[in-house]
């Protein structure tokens, strides 16, 4: 006779399988793009038979939609964690610089999800983008608040257009997923150069 204790391993196994499918889909999507992502390739990378995917996701687009959302949500959560770990009294400008490093490291080293989300933002149909777009808007508000705090503290130029500057910075960081090659530039070099864009291009007193 089954009971709640017996059901727990089944639920846990199902959750683990779902996560394996998502991990595999993120890997394939980040490399092959929306048009080139096939469920048979996702299943092979996950070590499953393709029909098993339909137990967890109703369609290829439903799976891709979830990957896109997870990519946006996880980089957002990672940058929040990095900011919350900063010492009390960290200046608003240094909080921006920490967010730059957190975003680039997560995008380029940690998460296939974020790379998949960034690379396919303009490839997937609008309906698939909606869920991820809402998360991206929340992430953009985080950066808006960082920029506003730094300008209010006199650490960004008073004449700086915050909206344009923020979008340019995020766009530049996201584009790094397309061109950055660790054989040519270390991640530390990339982080430093991006932080210098903020220090020397946006600050009234470059340091």
Position 167 pLDDT exceeds 60: yes
**134 vs 14, which has greater pLDDT?**
134
Position 133 pLDDT exceeds 90: no
- pLDDT (0 to 100) of residue 165: 95
Tell me the pLDDT tens digit for each residue of 14-25: 888 898 999 899
What is the chain's mean pLDDT, rounded?
Answer: 88
* Whole-model pTM over 0.85: no
Max CA pair span of the chain = 72
Backbone phi, then psi, for 184, in 5-degree steps?
-105, -35
Find the mean pLDDT for residues 189-206: 90
- pLDDT (0 to 100) of residue 207: 57
User: CB 3: neighbour CB atoms within 10 A?
Assistant: 7
**pLDDT > 90: percent of the chain:** 57
Distance of CA 169 to the CA centre of its chain: 15
- pLDDT (0 to 100) of residue 119: 80
Position 8 pLDDT exceeds 50: no
**81 vs 129, which has greater pLDDT?**
81
> If we measure between CA atoms, which residue out of 109, 104, 106 comes closest to residue 78?
106
Domains of the chain in sequence order: 60-202 (1.10.357.10)
Tell me the pLDDT tens digit for each residue of 47-104: 999 889 999 999 999 999 998 898 889 899 999 999 999 999 999 999 999 999 999 9
Rounded CA-CA distance 187/202 in Å is 22
Tell me the pLDDT tens digit for each residue of 107-128: 888 778 878 888 888 888 888 8
């Amino acid at each position: 006779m089954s009971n709640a204790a017996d059901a727990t391993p089944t639920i846990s196994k199902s959750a683990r399988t779902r996560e394996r499918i998502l991990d595999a889909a993120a890997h394939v999507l980040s490399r092959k793009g929306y048009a080139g992502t096939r469920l048979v390739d996702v299943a092979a990378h996950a070590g499953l038979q393709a029909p098993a995917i339909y137990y967890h996701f109703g369609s290829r687009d439903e799976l891709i939609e979830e990957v896109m959302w997870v990519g946006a949500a996880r980089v957002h959560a990672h940058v929040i964690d990095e900011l919350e770990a900063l010492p009390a009294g960290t200046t608003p400008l240094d909080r921006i610089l920490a967010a730059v490093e957190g975003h680039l490291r997560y995008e380029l080293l940690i998460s296939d999800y974020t790379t998949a989300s960034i690379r396919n933002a303009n490839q997937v149909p609008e309906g698939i983008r909606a869920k991820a777009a809402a998360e991206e808007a929340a992430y953009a508000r985080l950066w808006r608040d960082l920029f506003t705090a730094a300008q209010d503290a006199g650490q960004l130029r008073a004449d700086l257009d915050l909206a344009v500057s923020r979008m340019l910075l995020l766009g530049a960081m996201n584009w790094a997923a397309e061109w950055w090659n660790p054989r040519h530039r270390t991640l530390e070099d990339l982080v430093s150069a991006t932080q210098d864009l903020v220090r020397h291009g946006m600050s009234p007193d470059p340091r």
